[in-house]
Amino acid sequence: MRLVILDWATMTAHEDLSPECFRPFADEIDCYSLTSPGEAAARIGDAELVLCNKVPITGEVIEACPNLKYIGLFATGYNNVDIPAATARGIRVCNAGSYSTNAVAQLVFAFMLDHFSKLPLYNLDVRQGKWCTSPTFSYFPYPTMELAGKTLSIIGFGSIGKAVAKIADAFGMQVLVSTRTVPAHAPYPMVTLAEAFARADVLTLHCPLTEDTSQLVNAIRLGSMKPSAILINTARGGVVAEHDLAEALNNDIIAGAYLDVLQQEPMNPDTPLRHAKNCVITPHIAWAPLETRQRLLGIVTDNLQHFLAGNPQNLVN
């Protein structure tokens, strides 16, 4: 049994994780740091098992790899795999869900606290000696605000949306939820998208990228928001129309945006958001804490073990 790992570099920083956990499941393991789309078929070759994060496994790749029986993903999303082609060949595809809930919710509140508490600005002023020359004991030229009482609109109410709502409760925020599937006995007011945008002090996105949610955040919806509101996106970059958001920020339609995802990753240097006013961008790090990646690696390992035992789990197809 041969196992190929196509993009291990997406899983580790400073070698803080090891692929050795897969050693018991294959006679031969080929582990590549990164693999370009054009290299995938040749590297998989006669292997029965493949693991990847973002490498495209197209119908052409599947056709060129006659022994392939299993595709395991270091991710929840699986849009990089041609699922119909895999299904037609009897190849099982398994993903890893719900591993990053705590980490993503944590980053959402890091973004909120950055905006409302202004810590970077105050830290910079202190380092520049401005507190030393303050005429009063407390130096606060930058307005700060409490989260308590602010309205948080959550778009999408899966595991991450629920975790964000729970933390918001602890801060005393007023939570609104807009979601495609309304849960029974919903603990928060369920509102339309229009109402979620209009009432939000903070609007945070936790929905998948689908035909219905593509460019969900556009000029019209941004124009309906409070000028004091901020947008947070830790979901998928394609949920936001980037040009529209840049225009809204540069024209003070909304007060700010915090983005951990973009339409193109790594970031296109020409994206209009790169130099937009009051726009904080992090390089897709919400899922990256060590504990989160350890949890992900455990799920992927468990998925592979279950497949080889004839009892596959977390099946996509």
For the annotated catalytic residues, the residue numbers are 236, 265, 284
* β-bridge partners, 73: 52
Please report the beta strands in the chain, taking only residues with DSSP state E, as ranges in sequence order.
Answer: 2-5, 28-31, 49-52, 70-73, 92-94, 151-155, 174-178, 202-205, 230-233, 256-259, 279-281
For the beta carbon of residue 148, count every other beta carbon within 10 angstroms.
10
In order, the DSSP letters of 59-89 are HHHHHT-TT--EEEESSS--TTB-HHHHHHT
Asked if 161 and 189 touch (Cβ cutoff 8 Å), the reply is no
The H or E element that residue 162 is part of is: helix 159-171
What does the alpha-carbon distance between residue 159 and residue 104 come to, in Å, rounded to a whole number?
Answer: 10
Q: At what angle do helices 159-171 and 101-117 cross, to 10 degrees?
A: 40
The letter for the amino acid at 25 is F
Sign of CA dihedral 232, 233, 235, 239: positive
Q: Is 259 in a helix, a strand, or coil?
A: strand
69 closest CA partner among 246, 293, 307: 307
* Count helices and strands in the chain by DSSP H and E runs: 10, 11
